[in-house]
C-alpha cells in the first residue's frame, strides 16, 4: 500500500529527472572547466548517452544508484517491492544491452555511479579524460 495519494505520487514521479540531474551537472561543469567539448543526451545514439564525444567515439552514462540498482546503495522501497525489483532488474538488463550494442558499434562506454561523482568528482572525471586520451 502506497502512503502517498495518487496525486502526491504523480507529482513525486514528475519531479524525477532523467536529464540534467545534479551528478550530470557536476560532471558537465568539470568538463567545461577542462575545456572539453561534448554533446548531451544525444537521442540519435543508441541508449541516449548522457555525454557523447563523437570524434573519440566515447559515450558516458551517469547512473543513479537507485534507478540502476547499485548493489549496497539501492534502497528498495518497502511498498510495492515486487514491482520495484522487476523495474530495477529491467533497467540493469537494459544498461548491459545498451553497453554491449555501443561497444559492437565501436564506442567506448563509460558508466559512472552518481554516488561516486558526489564522493569524488575529480576521480570520476579522470575516468572520462583517460578514455578520451586513449581513443584515436
- Tens-place pLDDT, residues 10-49: 565 555 556 678 899 999 999 999 999 999 999 999 999 9
pLDDT of residue 136: 42
The structure's pTM equals 0.83
- Check: CB of residue 43 under 8 Å from CB of residue 59: no
Sheet with 58-63: strands ordered across: 39-40, 51-53, 58-63, 108-113
pLDDT of residue 15: 54
Helix locations, 15-120, DSSP H: 22-33, 81-104, 114-119
- Per-domain residue ranges for the chain? 18-134
Beta strand 51-53 with 39-40 is antiparallel
Q: Which fold has domain 18-134?
A: Endonuclease; Chain A (3.40.960)
pLDDT of residue 56: 95
- Check: CB of residue 77 under 8 Å from CB of residue 53: no
Amino acid at each position: 500500500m502506497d502512503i502517498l495519494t495518487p496525486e502526491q505520487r504523480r507529482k513525486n514521479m514528475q519531479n524525477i529527472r532523467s536529464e540534467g540531474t545534479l551528478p550530470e551537472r557536476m560532471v558537465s561543469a568539470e568538463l567545461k572547466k577542462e575545456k572539453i567539448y561534448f554533446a548531451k543526451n544525444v537521442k540519435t545514439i543508441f541508449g541516449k548517452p548522457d555525454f557523447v564525444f563523437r570524434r573519440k567515439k566515447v559515450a558516458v552514462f551517469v547512473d543513479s544508484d537507485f534507478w540502476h540498482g547499485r548493489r549496497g546503495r539501492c534502497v528498495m522501497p518497502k511498498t510495492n517491492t515486487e514491482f520495484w525489483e522487476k523495474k530495477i532488474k529491467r533497467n540493469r538488463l537494459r544498461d548491459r544491452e545498451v553497453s554491449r550494442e555501443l561497444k559492437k558499434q565501436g564506442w567506448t562506454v563509460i558508466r559512472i555511479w552518481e554516488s561516486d561523482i558526489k564522493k569524488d568528482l575529480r576521480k570520476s572525471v579522470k575516468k572520462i579524460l583517460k578514455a578520451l586520451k586513449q581513443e584515436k
